[in-house]
Chains A and B, each alone.
Chain A
Amino acid sequence: MTDFLEMRGLTMRFGGLMAVDGLSFKVAHGSIHGLIGPNGAGKTTTFNMISGFYTPTSGQILLRGEDISGLAMHEVARRGVVRTFQHSTLFAELTVLENALVGTHMPFRPNIFAAIIGWDREDRRGAAARAREALEFFGLGDLAEERAGDLSHGHQRALGLAVAYASHPDVMLLDEPFTGMNPEETRQMMELMRRLKADGITILLVEHDMQAIMGLCDTITCMSFGKFLAEGGPADIRHHPAVIEAYLGGARHVA
């Protein structure tokens, strides 16, 4: 089935404010799907609904045909949908490896009795191996013993992705991963995402950096004022008059 993740009439109302209004779009399996729109368009709110942080006022979120709207965050995660965060959610005082280990919680569920007696050695080795694998994937293998708070900004971002990757997700929701990155870091991150896609992971990406969006995404959905505005491939969106108008209110190239 290619309609892996589908929003149907997704609506989020906060009191009198309609943050998202009747949003519908589909994310194809194994694709990189971009979600763009000017500030206040409702992208982050949509994200928060998919990941389970908010319960939608109405509408559905279908994952492999199952309605996951309204599930708790950890329930959504357990169905293979893992998100990253814009603002720092790393354990600054712990090592990079320890941070990655948090991400192995789902594939290597800790058992307290085994842990006390010491029967969980194999599990722990497996978790550590998986964590190292995730770090290697994002180029952080050499930094495993570093304090996470000492990392550069770009490396911290990569670590956030590594934590999410360590849990063997099917879908990764990336919340503005390119923010604050210089062109070189952006290029490297884009490469990493292509490798994620090659790994079979579906990516839904909220982002402002147009270079990254256009260079990475198979499909792009554009929102404006909480509503669906346009959808298509990078070439379509780049020249779409409504999108250009939404961002700039004028006639300038979005590229």
Chain B
Amino acid sequence: MMELLAQTGLNAVYAASYISLVAVGLVLIFGVMGVINFAHGELFMAGAYAVVALYADMHLPFFVAVPIGMIFVGMLGLVMERGLFRPLKGNPLGGLVASIGFLMILQSLAVMGFGVRMEHIPPVTQEVWRISDKVGLPVARIYVIVAAVVLLSALWYFLKRTRFGWALRASAQDPEAAALQGISITQTARIAMFIGAALAGVAGALTAPLVSVNPHMGHSVIVTAFIVIIVGGVGSLEGAIIASVVYAFVHTFVTTFSDGVVADIVGLSLMLVVLIVKPTGLFGSADRA
């Protein structure tokens, strides 16, 4: 029993890693641009397919494929910013609708490019880090955890210690004041969009060898991301990370001791409860929704 708990705990840590990458990306986009990016799950999918193409099909080394995939998805983010969100600034419902349109396009492209079937790409490594006989964590999953910690730390450093990061935070807090201070809103929007998308993309890229890649994988990702950011608080990065951990643990444990569908129901119910009781979430600040 203890071992089952420990194993589930390790699995939860792994889940928390990629979920927090996705959620933080979504919060960043919402915080700076005030728009809900419904296509975020498809950006995750795009990262996964990038690795399918580069690593599985073209046989590039995994650790080359992942950064390329990340940058590719970041650029998709720039496309969205330029083509959708900038023309629709000030129209959040419009931005939402446009992002839904974009996700449908991405899904279709994936189907047309790769087919509907699930992809199982060769694992990066078969090694397992064993704590005991029954408890262990595949090294491939450890890569994901490490990458998440590194990337989120880098992001933290970027936001708190660099000028660009400071500009981002200022824009998120008060766009007009930021503009008056000479901060280019367009520039910060592009940076936020690139980073936000890249985070989703790298999560997809890193986990691609560990899941079955298919054009509809974005659906559960976006639902999870929304649950997390609602529970954590719509404008809060720290909230997103903490809520990711909470959600990952709840979901993983319920899945292990019951099943996946029940876990999904629990997660959605949690979000519903937060929406009813305290819509701004655990760490919610003044929201722009």
When A and B assemble into the complex, do they touch directly, with CB atoms less than 8 Å apart? no
